[in-house]
Structure 1
Amino acid sequence: MSLFRVERTVRRSPEEVWRRLTDWPAHGRRVPLTRTRVLTPGPYGVGTRFVARTGVGRLSFDDPMEVVRWEPPTADRPGVCRLEKSGRVVRGWAVIEVTATEGGGCRVLWTEELSVRGVPTAFDPVLARAGRAVFGRAVEGLLRGP
């Protein structure tokens, strides 16, 4: 499995950052060639399921995910969201952490471990670099807004 982290510090409130990072349909607008569909009715929380479909035509795959931990940030603790990936092609997990910083901003830490069916573990470092690049841009786009 390939492990990667994306870390960003922004001048937005933890509540606003949490809202932006857990807007699952917005992820599809920020990850290339991807559409995201939420399968469970809102509001979001533990048990929310969604699918990110990536690719073009027959060269597409589904990345189904479920929220298994949902703790929005409060004045005295960071926010934590954990996703479990259970697809035939992509498996693993992701954790999104939002922590308040002094001065009214916050730090975002996105940690993800994944494996891609058919990709040998020798390519894990390449997969990690690609994950950091793609999700780094996605996080920045989500934090910037529409």
Structure 2
Amino acid sequence: MPFFSLERTVPLPLDEAWRRLTDWPRHGAAVPLTRITVVTSTPTHEGTRFVARSGIGPLGFDDPMDVTLWRPPADGEPGLCRLEKRGRVMLGWAEIEVRPGPGGRARVVWREELSVRFLPRVLDGVVAFTARTVFGRAANRLLRRA
């Protein structure tokens, strides 16, 4: 499975960076042609499930995800969230970590291992590059908007 990671340092407190990155419906506004539906009760916790629907009309696919680790930042300690992708098309996991950075800023680390079913392994580099680009832009949008 292709793996990628990206890092951002932002002028936000830890809890605000965390809130922006883990507001799942907002991801739909940040990822092109995608909408997010949370299918379990709020607030987010281990066991929360949501579905990212990507595509246009009937030409799309669902990417169901489960929150398997939920540890928000507290008392200056880092926060960590782990998602497991359990779809018929997208498989893998993602981790979003928010930790103290230089000068009181928040340091965000997004790690993801992603596999697209039916694509040959020879395309893993293309998948990793595309995912890093798409999710990097999404992280930027999420972190810029309140």
TM-score relative to the length of structure 1: 0.97
Question: After the TM superposition, which parts of structure 1 deviate over 6 Å for at least 4 consecutive aligned residues?
Answer: none
User: What is the SS of the residue equivalent to 1:97?
Assistant: strand
Task: Give 2:79's aligned residue.
Answer: 79
Deviates more, 1:69-78 or 1:104-113: 69-78
Post-superposition offset of 1:76: 4.2
User: What is the SS of the residue equivalent to 2:130?
Assistant: helix
Deviations 1:35-57 (A, max 9, x none): 00000010111011000000112
Deviations 1:29-75 (A, max 9, x none): 10000000000010111011000000112320000000000001122
The amino acid that maps onto 2:60 is S
The 2-side partners of 1:58 and 1:123 are apart by 25
Deviates more, 1:74-83 or 1:135-144: 74-83
Deviations 1:91-115 (A, max 9, x none): 1000000011232111100000011
Compared CA separation, residues 63 and 130, structure 1 to 2 (3 A): same
The 2-side partners of 1:101 and 1:110 are apart by 15
The amino acid that maps onto 1:127 is V
Unaligned runs of at least 5 residues, structure 2: none
Deviates more, 1:21-30 or 1:57-66: 57-66
Unaligned runs of at least 5 residues, structure 1: none
Task: Give 1:51's aligned residue.
Answer: 51
Post-superposition offset of 1:77: 2.0
The 2-side partners of 1:133 and 1:103 are apart by 27
Structure 2 contact 14–76 (Cα < 8 Å) conserved: no
TM-score relative to the length of structure 2: 0.97
Residue correspondence of structure 1 range 4-23 to structure 2 within 5 A: 4-23=4-23
Residue correspondence of structure 1 range 31-46 to structure 2 within 5 A: 31-46=31-46
Q: CA RMSD in A?
A: 0.9
Deviations 1:102-143 (A, max 9, x none): 321111000000111111111001100001100000000000
Identity %, equivalent residues = 58
Q: What number of residue pairs does the alignment pair up?
A: 146
User: What is the SS of the residue equivalent to 1:53?
Assistant: strand
Task: Give 2:121's aligned residue.
Answer: 121
